[in-house]
């Protein structure tokens, strides 16, 4: 899977993408929110997660299976991106 | 220098949507569309001090008693903030009861009676409190916040109590409300119009197999609501929460409770030998970002609508699979935004438009039943005005048709399942069957 620049989605690029979607579109967070911040503590709820998955699908063309979403995968933007990256690798 | 007039505060589309239901309930049942939150408190609650606090708060938060009306009779409804001082302050009624009344378990019958009352929002009758003190409060107190539904949604009512407690403790001034944190709407008027039409199309589609509620199509009936709260043990609740997470998903446990509620209603149809045709149920979606403390007043929800057929109800897992698929498809299709857009039109349309539309599409019904899941009740809050919170739950009113609502919340590791119903809709046998099926699905045991 490639991004809009024709490059392969790296885990770092996905982390940055997920982080930006969360920060700019879905969560009301301040500067203290980082790619390693807890998503649940930052206010991620079921609607925001589904909207995030839709945005990821739009960017990568891959729909992340909701059953993969657990406390561990939703721990931070980084861990969620790792989950997405693993799914892209198998797509 | 003359003071400038206090500006009116417009009702949101969702507020007006609920106000439309008030019009329907007034017309058909002689009551108002109210909601209620109940707290069971331990010793230490000073009802008199609470009444004084509320009077002070109402002085600086005039929305609590602002008459609601349409400027010039036709413009979208507003809270007439400038007229609030002419309205009576919110009532706090205090009653005493013996300790034995506390031992009966449920909330005082007075609280259910409050839900059947008719209030006049045009005169600012928006909120009231009732306190029942046991042994003059030394054995504890029950407190009910009853409100005209557009003033708060369920989450807002909890935020309001949390904020009142902060004001009482001096942690916050009565003028100081937490900041708003509603998800922004990013759509122009044309897009919102298209969204509203899409929502209208979805409702029309449901009509092909219109639901039939247990109350049957609407009859003009005086509202007589019964409220029953089942508090599950901590052991059962741990099991239920685990099942909900595993079977419905880490972030979507509400679908588990919705599925159990549908199957409990379905069991009653089976007992009657009647065909529900389909189950059409709205799921409230909170539009505030989670964890924010703001947006106390007003309704900050959209609705996701589900329709399932009796065949899908035979098995809990199969029903959950269907509900999960519908939820995902609805969000992908933008139905959360479409629901909000459709409700926005309620600001301009006559109050009876929406109920009339629903009853036309659904052969006289509004839906199969009403449902809510509010998760942790006053999470992290142990006391209210110094008294320990022993339990708490929501009990919204429900129109006589569909005549049934289930709402779930969890307080300190114990699930409260509230069933609000119009008296006479369920026979004694049916109620037993309903409760057996609900418990069996929640806990995971044979009915």
pLDDT at position A57 is 86
Residues B138-152 have a mean pLDDT of 96
pLDDT at position A52 is 87
Residues B57-73 have a mean pLDDT of 93
Beta-carbon-side half-sphere exposure of residue A36 (alpha carbons within 13 Å): 0
- Say whether pLDDT at B6 is over 90: no
Of A27, A49, A70, Cβ closest to residue B289: A27
The whole-angstrom separation of Cα B399 and Cα B28 is 9
List, edge to edge, every strand of the sheet that includes B68-69: B9-10, B78-79, B68-69
Closest CA to B181 of B336, B283, B296: B296
For B21, B190, B370, the CA distances from B373, given in Å and listed in that order, are 20, 33, 11
Closest CA to B216 of B262, B276, B264, B267: B276
Question: Is residue A3 domain-resident?
Answer: no
- Say whether pLDDT at B168 is over 90: yes
CATH of the domain at A51: 1.10.1200.10
The whole-angstrom separation of Cα B357 and Cα B212 is 16
Question: Is residue A32 domain-resident?
Answer: yes
Of A28, A47, A66, Cβ closest to residue B336: A47
Closest CA to B168 of B51, B88, B59: B51
Prediction ipTM score = 0.77
Question: Is residue A46 domain-resident?
Answer: yes
Distance from CA of B168 to the nearest CA of A (A): 27
User: For residue B41, what are the β-bridge partners?
Assistant: B141, B389
Name the average pLDDT for chain B.
Answer: 91
pLDDT at position B249 is 86
For tokens 């809709």, the residue is: B425
Residues B245-274 have a mean pLDDT of 95
H helix or E strand, kind and range, residue A56 = helix A46-60
In this predicted structure, which of B33-42, B179-188, B267-276 has the lowest mean pLDDT?
A: B179-188
Which residue would you say has higher pLDDT here, B2 or B434?
Answer: B434
Question: Is residue A82 domain-resident?
Answer: yes
Return the beta strands (E) in B137-243 as ranges: 140-148, 225-231
pLDDT tens, position by position, B190-228: 898 999 999 999 999 999 999 999 998 877 889 999 999
Question: Is residue A6 domain-resident?
Answer: no
Q: Which positions ≥6 away from B342 have C-beta within 8 Å?
A: B13, B195, B196, B199, B200
For A18, A54, B63, B113, the CA distances from B367, given in Å and listed in that order, are 38, 29, 31, 24
H helix or E strand, kind and range, residue B205 = helix B189-206
Of B251, B328, B332, Cβ closest to residue A45: B251
pLDDT bin (cut points 50, 70, 90) of residue B325 is very high
Residues B375-398 have a mean pLDDT of 95
For tokens 């409804």, the residue is: B77
Backbone angles phi, psi at B305, to 5 degrees: -105, 140
Spell out the CATH class of B190-376+398-443: alpha beta
Question: Is residue A1 domain-resident?
Answer: no
Q: Which domain holds residue A17?
A: 11-90
In this predicted structure, which of A56-70, B41-55, B109-123, B400-414 has the lowest mean pLDDT?
A: A56-70
In this predicted structure, which of B78-82, B321-325, B350-354, B381-385 has the lowest mean pLDDT?
A: B350-354
Query: Do B249 and A44 count as a contact with CB atoms less than 8 A apart?
Result: no
- Say whether pLDDT at A10 is over 90: no
**Domain residues of chain B, as ranges?**
9-168, 190-376+398-443
Question: Is residue A77 domain-resident?
Answer: yes
The whole-angstrom separation of Cα A62 and Cα B307 is 28
Distance from CA of B108 to the nearest CA of A (A): 35
Return the beta strands (E) in B152-263 as ranges: 225-231
Closest CA to B11 of B23, B20, B24: B20
Distance from CA of B255 to the nearest CA of A (A): 11
The whole-angstrom separation of Cα B421 and Cα B439 is 18
Counted domains in chain A: 1
pLDDT at position B147 is 97
B9-168 and B190-376+398-443: identical CATH topology: yes
Q: From chain B, pick out residues whose CB is under 8 angstroms from the CB of A41.
A: 291
- Say whether pLDDT at B40 is over 90: yes
Residues B430-439 have a mean pLDDT of 97
- Say whether pLDDT at B390 is over 90: yes
pLDDT at position B360 is 84
Which residue would you say has higher pLDDT here, B80 or B348?
Answer: B80
Q: Any idea which fold B9-168 has?
A: Chloramphenicol Acetyltransferase (3.30.559)
In this predicted structure, which of A52-61, B45-54, B71-80, B422-431 has the lowest mean pLDDT?
A: A52-61
Q: Give the max Cα distance, chain A.
A: 35
Distance of CA B41 to the CA centre of its chain: 21
Of B252, B289, B332, Cβ closest to residue A46: B252
Q: From chain B, pick out residues whose CB is under 8 angstroms from the CB of A66.
A: 249, 252, 324, 328
pLDDT tens, position by position, A20-39: 988 887 877 778 889 999 88
How many other β-carbons are positioned within 10 Å of the β-carbon of residue A62? 18
Q: Which positions ≥6 away from B156 have C-beta within 8 Å?
A: B295, B296, B297, B298, B299, B300
pLDDT at position B291 is 63
pLDDT at position B4 is 58
pLDDT bin (cut points 50, 70, 90) of residue B120 is very high
Q: Pairing mode, if any, of strands B78-79 and B9-10?
A: antiparallel
Q: Mind giving me the DSSP string for B303-339?
A: EEEEEE-GGGGS-HHHHHHHHHHHHHHHHHTTHHHHH
Which residue would you say has higher pLDDT here, A51 or B148?
Answer: B148
Does A50 contact B at CB distance below 8 Å?
yes
């Amino acid at each position: 899977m490639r991004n809009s620049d024709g490059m392969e989605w790296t885990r770092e690029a996905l982390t940055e993408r997920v982080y930006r979607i969360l920060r700019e579109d879905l969560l009301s967070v301040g500067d203290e929110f980082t790619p390693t911040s807890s998503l649940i503590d930052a206010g991620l709820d079921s609607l925001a997660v589904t909207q995030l998955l839709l945005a990821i699908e739009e960017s990568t063309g891959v729909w992340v299976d909701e059953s993969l979403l657990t406390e561990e995968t939703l721990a931070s933007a980084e861990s969620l991106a790792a989950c997405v990256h693993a799914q892209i690798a198998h797509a | 220098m003359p003071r400038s007039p206090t500006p009116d505060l417009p009702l949101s589309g969702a507020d007006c949507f609920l106000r439309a239901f008030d019009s329907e309930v007034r017309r058909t049942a002689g009551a108002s569309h109210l909601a209620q939150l109940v707290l069971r408190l331990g010793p230490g609650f000073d009802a008199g001090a609470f009444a004084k606090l509320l009077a002070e708060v109402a002085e600086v938060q005039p929305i609590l008693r602002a008459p609601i009306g349409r400027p010039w009779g036709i413009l979208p409804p507003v809270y007439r903030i400038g007229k609030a001082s002419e309205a009576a302050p919110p009532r706090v009624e205090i009653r005493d009861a013996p300790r034995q009344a506390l031992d009966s378990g449920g909330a005082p019958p007075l609280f259910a009676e409050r839900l059947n009352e008719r209030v006049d929002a045009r005169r600012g009758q928006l909120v009231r409190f009732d306190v029942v003190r046991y042994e003059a409060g030394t054995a504890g107190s029950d407190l009910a916040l009853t409100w005209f539904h557009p003033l708060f949604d369920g989450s807002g009512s909890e935020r309001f109590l949390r904020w009142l407690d902060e004001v009482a403790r001096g942690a916050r001034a009565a003028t100081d409300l937490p900041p708003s944190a509603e998800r922004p709407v990013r759509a122009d008027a044309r897009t919102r119009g298209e969204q509203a039409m899409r929502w209208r199309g979805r409702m029309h589609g449901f009509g092909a197999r219109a639901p039939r509620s247990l109350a049957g199509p609407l009859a003009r009936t005086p509202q007589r609501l019964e409220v029953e709260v089942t508090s599950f043990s901590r052991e059962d609740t741990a099991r239920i929460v685990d099942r909900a997470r595993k079977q419905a998903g880490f972030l979507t446990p509400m679908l588990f409770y919705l599925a159990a509620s549908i199957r409990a209603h379905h069991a009653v149809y089976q007992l009657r030998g009647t065909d529900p045709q389909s189950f059409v149920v709205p799921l409230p979606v909170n539009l505030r970002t989670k964890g924010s403390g703001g947006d106390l007043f007003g309704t900050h929800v959209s609705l996701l609508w589900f329709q399932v057929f009796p065949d899908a109800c035979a098995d809990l897992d199969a029903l959950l699979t269907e509900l999960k698929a519908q939820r995902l498809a609805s969000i992908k299709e933008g139905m959360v935004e479409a629901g909000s857009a459709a409700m926005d039109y309620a600001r301009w349309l006559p109050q009876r438009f929406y109920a009339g539309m629903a009853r036309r599409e659904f052969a006289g019904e509004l839906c199969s039943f009403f449902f809510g899941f509010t998760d942790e009740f006053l999470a992290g809050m142990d006391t209210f005005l110094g008294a320990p919170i022993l339990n708490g739950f929501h009990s919204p009113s429900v129109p006589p048709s569909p005549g049934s609502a289930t709402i779930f919340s969890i307080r300190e590791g114990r699930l409260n399942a509230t069933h609000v119903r119009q008296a006479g809709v369920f026979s004694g046998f049916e109620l037993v069957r309903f409760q057996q099926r609900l418990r069996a699905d929640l806990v995971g045991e044979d009915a």
